[in-house]
Amino acid sequence: MATATSQETLETTTVEVRCTGHVRDAVGTPSLEYTFEGSTLGEFLEAFFDDYDVEDLLIAETEADATAHGWAPAPDELPGTWRKNPDGEQTRTYARVCINGRFNEHVDGFATELEDDDRVALIYPFMFCC
């Protein structure tokens, strides 16, 4: 007797990826279409980093990696609502991850749900000093 095999259908999402600066150099193109298993920004980043070696350019491992030095001290009370990504989900100084033009910490961080045709920007600009 033949048994039917159940094949689990994995959800995939296809996004448009835009790369700038050092990320563009490492990936080799300013834009590409990318399909990954899952639907969150975190799942996208995990898959993308497996295919392209750019995690060290974007993700901060420590608070020091995520903090710009030399800025003016912040006032005791900041105006408006200030949110920061949790440890492990922070970008390096000057690096950013955007979804449809919005910084990921202004949506749901790495838990942000992505849909087909969303635009994910991986930004790490060239910095020059005179």
Spell out the SS3 assignment of 31-75. EEEEEEECCEHHHHHHHHHHHCCCHHHHECCCHHHHCCCCCCCCC
pTM over 0.95: no
pLDDT tens by residue, the chain, 130 residues: 444 444 566 899 999 999 999 999 999 999 999 999 999 999 999 999 999 999 999 988 877 777 776 666 767 777 766 666 667 777 877 788 999 999 988 888 899 999 999 999 999 987 655 5
| Residue 74 placed within a domain | no
**Domain containing residue 114:** 12-63+86-124
Q: Is residue 94 part of a domain?
A: yes
27 domain-assigned: yes
Domain count for the chain, please give it: 1
In a domain, 69, yes or no: no
Structure tokens at 107: 């949506």
93 inside domain: yes
